[in-house]
Amino acid sequence: MSLNIIVLAKQVPDTRNVGKDAMKEDGTINRAALPAIFNPEDLNALEQALRLKETHPGTTVTMLTMGLPRAAEVIREAIYRGADGGIVLTDRALGGADTLATSYSLAQAVKKFGKVDLILGGRQAIDGDTAQVGPQIAEKLGIPQVTYAEEILGVENGRITVKRRLEHGVEKVVAPLPCVVTVNGSAAECRPRNAKRVMKYKRALSTSEAAKLDEAAAALYAAKPELNIAEWSAAFVEADPEQIGLAGSPTKVKAIENVVFTAKESRKLENNDAQIEELVKELIANHTIG
Amino acid sequence: MANFYTDNPDLKHHLNHPLMKKIVELKERNYTDAEKFDYAPVDFADAMDNYDKVLEIVGEICGTTIAENAEAVDHQGASCSDGHAHYADGTVENLDVCRKAGLMGMAMPRRFGGLNFPITPYIMAAEIVSRADTGFENLWGLQDCAETLYEFGSEEQRAKYIPRVCEGETMSMDLTEPDAGSDLQSVMLKATQKEDGTWVLNGVKRFITNGDSDIHLVLARSEEGTKDGRGLSMFIYDKRNGGVTVRRIENKMGIKGSPTCELVYKNAPAELCGSRRMGLIKYVMALMNGARLGIAAQSVGVSEVAYREAYQYALERKQFGKAIIEFPAVAEMLAVMKAKTDASRCLLYETARFVDMYKVYEDIARERKLNEEERAEMKHYSRLADALTPLAKGLGSEYCNQNAYDSIQIHGGSGFMKDYACERVYRDARITSIYEGTTQLQVVAAIRHVTTGTYRTLIESYANEEFTGELAPIAEKLKALTALYDEAVAKVTEANNPVLLDFMARRLVEMAGDIIMAYLLLLSAKVDERFLATTTVYTKLAQADVDKHIGFIRDFEPEQLKAYGI
């Protein structure tokens, strides 16, 4: 059975390598100092989608990202790794959205796709760390959700079987399609960019990026529709202006404080290679060392 | 995230050499593939951008997955059971990542599923892979064998096997036997032609890197009763057909992730590749030249990682209240390590470009007749590639061993423990000056380019470039060293004593190598001033080495050979 899969992805500032200048005086993120990257857990989600594409011939994997026009970079990255294409949901009116407005906007965009079997996304983005957008989209679409997914074990007869990674163990759940699955960072790493796909799709551009091409390049671009990354506006996805952007966001930041960590949690390790290796991996992953 | 391509700007410097324009234009036949393949470049800039982007993928995979797996792969090693070799878990993951990234069959034509990369960017990828995990470079780098299959196989064989290599199947070259190591003329593995015309192989091969590969190129004796190289032919053995088992794998000092196999052939079906009797004299020679360039790349990768590990340690390790890099003795060692790394890298890519130039003409000659000018150019570069390949392999592998040694020295006692990567690098480095022809055999291949003047002509062409400012005195120094080289060559050749020539060969070849590498660095410094310091250091090194050799040769009396047991 072929599947129509949407993978939600977000372009985020790389908060994993935070230096002194990562925050501005007013406590907001200094985006200029942090490179924009593919949200790491969204890459884990993409890998799960690409594995389904391998086991279910005919499956299409389409990326959906909301953000500035430059978020097309995330779509290209995903195409290099095997995604079929993607949409940038971009509009000034969508700016300043909290998770409620974001999930509403994305849910509206998903509706535009027609039949969708599976919506995959990372558990959470490393800038906001809320883990709310995936579940809210499921609620707004009125479909089931499976969170903390570590591996999609299979899709059969309209049902998906998912291994969830929870605090004290794993859980295997079965859900009917369509549904939303949010994927943990503990899931398999995303496959690398593929050489041929990079050479083929390096010229994939969003509509607004293509508008800056000179005449000759624009003609070449127009002749190859597979290089077109579509941009959707709020109006195109029929979003209610009251429910999007700042207007649709009840969350307000009251104050921001600088917190200095003092107390350190302690943990006891057994004196064996496995535990030490695990700790070292963790410390490297969170950039304490390395 | 570490990226072993983008963190080393020298690579881009070498990739952007002016000769690349001609290489790429020829390789891409004026960019005609763009109409047939959606990933083919439309012009030179596009092609170079492709190499850059693909090397960025290589760098990322190497800086993350492959480098991170290297230690575990070294500990676990490959294993053997049920007649098959099994990779370490990390190796399996590395191969999977390389396949998914489409990095197999990089130099193969697009019509067989390859990327159609010239040798130069492919060799650059090999250097990067080796820096991450030297042993893994062997497995990945055996895609070289596809080149030989492409050059000498029938169109049917190409179409059958090369796409499989591009999809990620691995290869091996089954040459060595218990009694045929450096002397491949003694190969005994028996090829028998059956009545229906097909061939079967029987016998034993030993020390076969990745001997349980999917597709083997096998050197076997097809002509019964013959004893020398002219009775040997090359065969393709497809693992899918069965007939070859792995009897055991070697327990090695280094490159433990790369299984070195003893193979038993029992009526293994095989296809003849190319013409009978040409196996050793033509095909294996071509195969070995490619493999030697691969080892030269592997060696530069080792030099790079040895230097980086040592440099990082010297920055962090404090003794007597300061970082040890601040002590002149340590600083000098590091500068010399870097100079050797940079020098052997210059030589590596100069060689790769020369190989590209003649191979691309050879390939065009498969499609149409070359004109006189093209034929002359092919011959010119073929000769230069032939001259530089043994230098790059021989001297590059010696340098990487020296660097691995010094890397441990800079780590002090800690370097002797299993805790730091330098220890693995040291063990992995050791094989580079042995396999695919020992350094001594590289000297045998190189010495005729001393006596016939190939090196001298090349040196002259470098010396004719204009060097100004800070480069001028270095260029003057190199002219003086060249005069000493001339003196040494004259002294040895005029004696007209083949034994003396053999005895002095390594000294003469090293002198030529010193001067060539110093000039190549100087040419790099002309384009990019970042190379000035390393050029200065290397020139001092070259000077000391040339002085040492001329001192030895100048007053050497042939009677003294007796004292050496000669």
Give the separation between CA A282 and CA B141, rounded to whole angstroms. 33
Are B49 and A193 in contact (CB < 8 Å)? Answer: no
Are A199 and B41 in contact (CB < 8 Å)? Answer: yes
Are B103 and A195 in contact (CB < 8 Å)? Answer: yes
Residue A29 has pLDDT above 80, yes or no: no
Nearest to A192 among B39, B97, B106 (CB): B97
Question: What is the token pair recorded at B480?
Answer: 């003086």
**Residue scoring higher pLDDT (A11 or A252):** A11
Are A191 and B115 in contact (CB < 8 Å)? Answer: no
End-to-end CA gap in chain B: 56
Question: pLDDT confidence of A263, banded at 50, 70, 90?
Answer: low
Per-residue pLDDT tens over the stretch A115-168: 999 999 999 998 888 889 999 999 999 999 999 999 999 999 999 999 999 988
Nearest Cα neighbor of B292 from B352, B241, B336 is B352
Ramachandran angles phi, psi of B79, nearest 5°:
-135, 170
Question: In A, which residues are within 8 Å of B54 by CB distance?
Answer: 195, 198-199
How many angstroms away from the CA of B97 is the closest CA of chain A? 7
Beta strand ranges found along B326-387 (DSSP E): none
For residue A196, the chain B residue with the least C-alpha distance is: B39
Are A194 and B50 in contact (CB < 8 Å)? Answer: no
Question: In B, which residues are within 8 Å of A195 by CB distance?
Answer: 54, 57, 101-103, 106, 115
SS3 B469: coil
B216 strand-pairing partners: B172, B237
Whole-prediction pTM = 0.92
Angle subtended at Cα A42 by Cα A41 and Cα A43, rounded to the nearest 5 degrees = 85
Chain A contact present for B34, CB below 8 A: no
Question: In B, which residues are within 8 Å of A202 by CB distance?
Answer: 49-50, 53
How many angstroms away from the CA of B327 is the closest CA of chain A? 25
Interface test mutation site (partner A, options B4, B35, B43, B50, max chain A beta carbons within 10 A) = B50
Give the separation between CA B127 and CA B138, rounded to whole angstroms. 11
Catalogue all structural domains in chain B, each as residue range(s) with its CATH number: 9-166+281-433 (1.20.140.10), 171-277 (2.40.110.10), 450-564 (1.20.120.470)
**Averaged confidence pLDDT in chain A:** 90
What's residue A27's pLDDT? 64
* CATH code for residues A4-251: 3.40.50.620
Nearest Cα neighbor of B273 from B201, B368, B178, B358 is B201
What's residue A279's pLDDT? 86
Asked if B431 and B255 count as a contact pair (C-beta separation under 8 A), the reply is yes
A178 upstream amide cis, omega within 30 of 0: yes
Ranges of chain B whose pLDDT falls below 50: none
Question: In A, which residues are within 8 Å of B61 by CB distance?
Answer: 192
Nearest to B61 among A192, A199, A200 (CB): A192
Per-residue pLDDT tens over the stretch B431-440: 999 999 999 9
Chain A contact present for B100, CB below 8 A: yes
Say what angle helices B144-152 and B155-166 make with each other, to 10 degrees.
160
Give the separation between CA A89 and CA A229, rounded to whole angstroms. 11
Question: In A, which residues are within 8 Å of B421 by CB distance?
Answer: none
Question: In B, which residues are within 8 Å of A194 by CB distance?
Answer: 57, 100-102
SS3 B79: strand
Quote the ipTM score.
Answer: 0.92
Chain A contact present for B75, CB below 8 A: no
Question: What is the token pair recorded at B456?
Answer: 């001298």
Domain ranges of chain A: 4-251
Are B57 and A199 in contact (CB < 8 Å)? Answer: no
Ramachandran angles phi, psi of B384, nearest 5°:
-65, -40
Task: Give percent of chain A with pLDDT exceeding 70.
Answer: 94
If interface means Cβ-Cβ distance under 8 Å, which residues of chain A face chain B?
191-200, 202
Question: In A, which residues are within 8 Å of B97 by CB distance?
Answer: 191-192
**Residue scoring higher pLDDT (A114 or B13):** B13
A119 strand-pairing partners: A6, A180
Tally of CA atoms within 13 A in the half-sphere of B198 that contains its CB: 8
What's residue A120's pLDDT? 97
Nearest to A199 among B39, B60, B61 (CB): B39
How many angstroms away from the CA of A237 is the closest CA of chain B? 32
What's the per-residue H, E or C state across A3-69? CEEEEECCEEECHHHCCHHHECCCCCECCCCCCEEECHHHHHHHHHHHHHHHHCCCCEEEEEEECCH
B319 strand-pairing partners: B322
Chain A contact present for B49, CB below 8 A: yes
Chain A contact present for B421, CB below 8 A: no
**For the purposes of burial, counting CB atoms within 10 Å of the CB of B161, is it exposed (0-12), middle (13-18) or buried (19 or more)?**
buried
What per-residue string of b and e applies to A251-263 under the rule 16 or more CB within 10 Å gives b? eeeeeeeeeeeee
What's residue A289's pLDDT? 77
For residue B50, the chain A residue with the least C-alpha distance is: A199
Give the separation between CA B455 and CA A232, rounded to whole angstroms. 63
